[in-house]
Structure 1
């Protein structure tokens, strides 16, 4: 099978909201193939059609980030048709804005989608990254360390030698708290604690993985970004920014930021902030 030598960008959860606008911006400015991925094929293809109607040419591939087989299928497709992945935007995520305190089951589903999926993606898609690939993790201002209330985790998550296993211990302690009821749920990160924990864990994982890439001698950059409080279906239409404005900083990281920008937390206006202040 002939492999296309064009660069490749992939956006997870690209059928609506910020993800859709990131795909749109990449189609306009990225010199290569842009994959809009979505777990629902019909909605994904409808999103592709919207972009095609304005003259853009995204490609589509179904992707459920919580399903290892689905990620493997995407990896097989990329391996067959392309030489690697140059931009990967981990955008897929969920939040029930109506529930500030979730059941253990709902909290686990959210964390599986927003955080645990990144570990599976790392295992399956990262081996396909080009030598100068860029990974953009869509975080939140709720992904800042200051959202966490327990001192042990404030101390642990800033360690220079933090490990993935320690991040998993943090996540698992929260899930145990969620199982133990309302007061335990809020003890670690307050209301919407499951979302906050998922995004803090994402941020911490970003820094750990950047350190790993550097140790491996790779020029891959991985950064996380707070796109702003964006008006989307997930926020029930509330917010300060349009999805197009929310895509600004992610697109900056994908297209314009210096390759030397590594392991950073980027604000919606594209400036670097201290994650642990």
Structure 2
């Protein structure tokens, strides 16, 4: 019998690690813990093995097209496809609420642009009834954007990927124009907000594309809550284990008919563009 496959990006610590743990406990198949750093990734696997779990490991740097291609080749030679893909990898520097151009671009590369590369290389490996979970944030709600022009465009029913790219490009141009332009676009930590708004918007656009293609693939985005992780400097309301609750719900329990939605940390749906 063919083994099902689940993949979690950026999962050597934090919420991603807890998602892998939950999948190992409940998912009937192979679970891949991935990380860009092999040493940290293998140490994370060892932690789970001490709990009696059996995750598999593969290096994966979501900002590197060659790394994603290598991972895709590895999966395609060993499995018939991917059943669950959790796009969890992400970065945030709370100490730099107004980043430099280079810092903003690096964040965007990890949090948003990587999804486009993953779409191109890993999506062809998805089985027809696969599930994709995109890790968003309450900062990924459309209301975090301050430019009315973009509020109107991103809320359109016929929004396109190209328009989302224009949105991100416009933001990066505002970063170059200085602090005042940056803050007027999305406020402090606007780079993270824009990356997550773009991720959320892309989720809905891609779901419509899957439906148009006649595929029963579900793709949803999720706000895991304000979780105490290294990324939040230990601040937060929830443990990483609690933060994994909604992503695991989407991966394991939600009806396959749940498609193109924004799911809150308590597993209820919210309107992204209110």
Instruction: Identify the TM-score tier after normalising by the shorter chain.
Output: over 0.9
- Partners of 2:112 and 2:236 in 1: how far apart? 23
Question: Residue 40 of structure 1: which of 37, 41, 47 is its match?
Answer: 37
Structure 2 unaligned blocks of 5 or more: none
TM-score (norm 1): 0.98
- Partners of 1:45 and 1:181 in 2: how far apart? 41
Corresponding residue number in structure 1 for 2:75: 78
Root-mean-square deviation (Å)? 0.6
Matched, 1:185 2:182: yes
- Partners of 1:201 and 1:155 in 2: how far apart? 14
Matched, 1:99 2:96: yes
| Match runs of 1:157-172 below 5 Å | 157-172=154-169
Runs of 4+ in 1 over 3 A off after TM superposition: none
Matched, 1:213 2:210: yes
Query: What SS class does the counterpart of residue 102 from structure 1 fall into?
Result: coil
- Partners of 2:229 and 2:164 in 1: how far apart? 29
Query: What SS class does the counterpart of residue 122 from structure 2 fall into?
Result: helix
Question: Residue 234 of structure 1: which of 231, 235, 243 is its match?
Answer: 231
| Match runs of 1:51-200 below 5 Å | 51-200=48-197
1:232-251 per-position Cα deviation (integer Å, ceiling 9, x unaligned): 00000000000000000000
Structure 1 unaligned blocks of 5 or more: none
- Partners of 2:169 and 2:10 in 1: how far apart? 25
CA apart distance, 1:65: 0.2
CA apart distance, 1:37: 0.2
Q: How many residues align?
A: 274
- Partners of 1:118 and 1:200 in 2: how far apart? 13
1:98-121 per-position Cα deviation (integer Å, ceiling 9, x unaligned): 111100100000001000000000
Corresponding residue number in structure 1 for 2:6: 9
Corresponding residue number in structure 2 for 1:274: 271
